[in-house]
Chains A and B, each alone.
Chain A
């Protein structure tokens, strides 16, 4: 399969050009991945403005640390990892107090998965964004990125058991929120 060309250059050629600070190549790389990465940022951020900040910071890191990319995996995966790390660091820098919600506050009669399937991607992102910071991070990393609890523990500097419990709580909050929405809808 021939490599995908952007303005006559392959991804590898664009990366090489970016290493020479070629602005056109950097813009092409940005345009190639900014949409996908913005969707990632929206999942990790509380609101769109925060997502935009993460996207900006992360792409600056992408271009300034491009020499570290070793072509061992996909470039998109490498960029995504930088986005995720930037989102995590951004979350850790926040000065506000960590939100805690106990399991006792969550109703057991929450919505089933079939309700989620009718929700749009935008609605799902909004649901994730509404999760408390810690839960949101764990849910994103585990459910969507596919990290193990051990890896999440290392990434977020928390215990593996904390990751597990936060995942459970995140799921239940999501079910609860959908349940509420569902009830409002009918």
Chain B
């Protein structure tokens, strides 16, 4: 390497030049698409949703229908000690607890046992030597059998009478299990008794505030009154693709009757779509620099630099992300279909009243060739979209999981249907969006 090489290297090896304008955009257009995180998200959401539904099903159809408690009864002492189990419904259990408060110490132990075992079983000690209990559980089907036992056996001692009293109570409880009320001293267990735990909120919580975020999939509907625009409609469908969208908002709810609630608030929705258009015959304008050398006797004596604008046939690729942002006032009624100590299930229906809308992006113009900017505020002459979209119909299944006594986690598969076209009458196509989403949120009850 000679001195000349070193000079060039030292001066040029680490220098920077100006980055050409739009260079990154050109590179970006050539790159493969981003990994679809949305798919991953939806996979996760599906798993989560499935888990919620399975758990809900367990709570609704398994836990509740077989919510019988095994009451263990012990009789005798030492070698004569024996245990029996009696299956009881929750209400029967509540009835038993009402009638069998022995003494404070025993009651505490019993309550602790219920708490730790989640009321799945309890241990009730009956201090008698002549037990009349058999392994036959007391149920509505065999109440007569137990009444016969009660009536045919003669017991004289107080302890034996205690046995009779318990049987009486068990029978009474089983007979009246649908109407028995919890005694006041058992109110601490109210939340643990499913049938009485969640009386649809109407009695205790008649106001609520929901905050939510919904992951939406928009479905665009384009229609034309005239067949002459079918080709244009086809090109629009081809160049525009709906992508992940979302909505979020807050709504106030108040109880208007048994199981009925009314909600209203503010909702923001953003419908996103991708506009991709390739014009294979578009020309590109480029500026080229030309340097002419002036020679005299074979030597360069001067140079002239000129710039020329040249048109190069080429391809134009456009990739624009369109956004349709809207603010709406939801007016929704909610009917509670089911509720228990863990969750409630409601059906929701109502309308969204649009108050403002804003568009941003590009679509193919009606000439089927030129991409046009739809960004608001629109040019009055090329106005395509209305400034408000009117009324949308809304429906949802709302699942509320009770996190605490006044806080619910919400999961709502929902759908929203636009009733009016988003486009003006001067535009040849009618356009509507229906969105299907999964909303998650929190409900504060007060």
Contact = CB atoms under 8 A, between A and B. Distances in A.
Interface of A: 20-23, 26-27, 30-31, 34-36, 38-39, 42-43, 47-49, 52, 55-56, 59-60, 63-64, 113, 116-117, 121, 124-125, 128, 139, 142-144, 146, 171, 174-175, 180, 183-184
B28 A26 contact: yes
Nearest to A76: B14
Given A23-B34, A63-B27, A184 B15 contact: no
B30 A113 contact: no
Contacts, number: 106
* Interchain residue pairs A-B with the least CB separation, the first 5: A35-B16, A143-B5, A39-B17, A38-B17, A21-B34
A184 B304 CA distance: 13
Interface stretch (B74-82, B188-196, B208-216, B294-302): B294-302
8 contacts: A23-B34, A30-B23, A34-B24, A48-B289, A55-B23, A143-B9, A180-B299, A184-B302
B404 interface: no
A47 B23 CA distance: 16
A111 B12 CA distance: 19
A59 B25 CA distance: 12
B11 A124 contact: yes
B31 A36 contact: no
Contacts of A27: 24, 28
B4 interface: yes
Contact of A21 (B2, B8, B31, B289): B31
Contacts of B34: 20-23
B3 A113 contact: yes
A143 B15 contact: no
Contacts of B35: 20-21
Given A144-B5, A171-B2, 7 more contacts: A23-B28, A27-B24, A39-B12, A63-B27, A128-B8, A144-B9, A183-B299
Contact of B18 (A30, A35, A64, A175): A35
Given A30-B24, A35-B17, A38-B18, A124 B12 contact: yes
Q: Is the interface of B mostly helix, strand, loop or mixed?
A: mixed
Nearest to A123: B11
B288 interface: yes
A31 B24 contact: yes
B286 interface: yes
Contacts of A121: 11-12, 15
B17 A42 contact: yes
A144 B35 CA distance: 39
Contacts of A39: 12, 15-17
Nearest to A34: B19
A38 B19 contact: yes
B184 interface: no
A6 to B, nearest CB: 14
Give the most central of A43, A59, A143, A183: most B CB within 10 Å. Answer: A143
A38 B28 contact: no
A55 B8 contact: no
Given A31-B24, A49-B286, A174-B4, A64 B31 contact: yes
A88 to B, nearest CB: 18
B16 A63 contact: no
B1 A60 contact: no
B364 to A, nearest CB: 25
B31 to A, nearest CB: 5
B316 to A, nearest CB: 15
B16 A36 contact: yes
B12 A60 contact: no
A30 B20 CA distance: 12
Contacts of B1: 142-143
B321 to A, nearest CB: 12
Contacts of B15: 36, 39, 121
Contacts of B13: 144
Given A60-B27, A63-B27, A124 B32 contact: no
A113 B7 contact: yes
Contact of B20 (A55, A139, A174): A55
Interface string B26-40: 111011111100000
B17 A142 contact: no
Contacts of A144: 5, 8-9, 12-13
Given A49-B286, A180-B300, A56 B17 contact: no
Interface string B147-173: 000000000000000000000000000
A56 B27 contact: yes
A47 B290 CA distance: 10
B38 to A, nearest CB: 13
Given A20-B35, A21-B35, A36-B14, A143 B20 contact: no
Give the most central of B7, B20, B26, B289: most A CB within 10 Å. Answer: B20
B299 A117 contact: no
B298 to A, nearest CB: 9
A20 B36 CA distance: 10
B23 A124 contact: no
A125 B12 contact: yes
Contact of A52 (B2, B4, B12, B23): B23
A64 B19 contact: no
A154 B286 CA distance: 35
A139 B1 CA distance: 11
